[in-house]
């Protein structure tokens, strides 16, 4: 199986803030207005607090999970630590849920409204009434990515032109990109242990599943071949077709895995295959 695997693998006034812009097409755009506020970094441990509430389509429990997962992902790739506290006065990072009417981007005419907005006093405002499809798709990456994106603005991390990055022009990509991780590590240092890039891990899991399916189909096909001349020839044809389709999927996923592996090569503490 290893040989087969190796053969196939070939992001107002005195305030600094950023906003995820109201949808004007099918995408969710992020728009940033900023000034030259001093960075508010006084250590790698951040206390956080969020008000009772949630995004449209979520429950309080689902929103709490989104916060926890966002901070887990940030801590996984660099030296950040997060501690939840019981009051806003104790927190460096504060999150509030604000209805759409309170999320207008200053100076926009016609008005545009934010999905998320970060202020230099450590506050992030999250649109509580805009429908981003969470009721029908509770596993959407939007809540987690929005929290990560706006939180990263706390450290004056600006937008990227790379659409695959958390700090890219839309808050919908579900994974960090290498540039996100490199800038976080430049500020907070490396994580405590090696991490496996999520995008690469998902594709890697597909490759492993494809390899298992290949062995299974191969074994079933061989069982039918061994029955000849009384074999079920239509079933052999069907299994052969499924084998070819699976091999085609394996090749595509393996090529994508290698591209992702090369993309992450050299990022400190990111796990990647170094080859022979």
d(CA 93, CA 46): 7
Q: Is the pTM of this model over 0.85?
A: no
d(CA 199, CA 208): 15
More confident call, 169 vs 199: 199
More confident call, 273 vs 255: 255
Query: Can you give the pLDDT at residue 275?
Result: 61
Opening angle at CA 249, ends 247 and 252, nearest 5: 110
| Model pLDDT for residues 181-230, shown as the tens digit of each residue | 999 999 999 998 999 999 999 999 999 999 999 999 999 999 999 998 88
Helix, strand, or coil (residue 246): helix
Mean pLDDT, the chain, as a whole number? 83
Query: Can you give the pLDDT at residue 7?
Result: 42
d(CA 155, CA 38): 9
Q: What is the DSSP string of 69-132?
A: HHHHHHHHHSS-EEEE-SSGGG-SEEEEEE-GGG-BPTT-SS--BEEEEEETTSEEEEESS---
Query: Can you give the pLDDT at residue 67?
Result: 96
**Mean local confidence (pLDDT), 156-180:** 86
d(CA 99, CA 54): 10
Helix, strand, or coil (residue 136): coil
């Amino acid at each position: 199986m290893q040989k087969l695997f190796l053969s196939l693998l070939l992001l107002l006034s005195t305030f600094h803030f950023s906003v995820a812009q109201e949808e004007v097409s099918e995408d969710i755009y992020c728009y940033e207005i900023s000034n030259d506020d001093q960075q508010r970094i006084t250590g790698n441990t951040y206390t956080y607090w969020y008000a009772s509430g949630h995004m449209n389509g979520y429950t309080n429990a689902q929103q709490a999970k989104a916060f926890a997962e966002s901070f887990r992902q940030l801590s996984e790739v660099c030296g950040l630590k997060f501690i939840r506290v019981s009051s806003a006065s104790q927190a460096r990072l504060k999150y509030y849920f604000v209805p759409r009417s309170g999320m207008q981007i200053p100076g926009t005419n016609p008005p545009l409204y934010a999905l998320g907005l970060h202020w230099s006093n450590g506050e992030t405002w999250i649109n509580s009434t805009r429908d981003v499809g969470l009721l029908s798709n509770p596993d959407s990456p939007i809540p987690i990515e929005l929290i990560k994106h706006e939180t990263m603005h706390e450290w004056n991390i600006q937008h990227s032109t790379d659409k695959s990055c958390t700090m890219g022009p839309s808050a919908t990509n579900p994974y960090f990109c290498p540039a996100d991780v490199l800038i976080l590590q430049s500020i907070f240092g490396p994580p405590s242990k090696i991490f496996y890039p999520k995008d690469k891990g998902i594709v890697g899991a597909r490759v492993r599943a494809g390899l298992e399916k290949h062995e299974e189909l191969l074994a079933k096909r061989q069982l039918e071949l061994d029955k000849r001349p009384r074999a079920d020839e239509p079933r052999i044809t069907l299994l052969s077709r499924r084998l070819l389709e699976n091999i085609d999927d394996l090749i595509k996923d393996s090529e994508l895995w290698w591209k992702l592996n090369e993309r992450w090569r050299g990022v400190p503490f990111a796990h990647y295959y170094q080859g022979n």
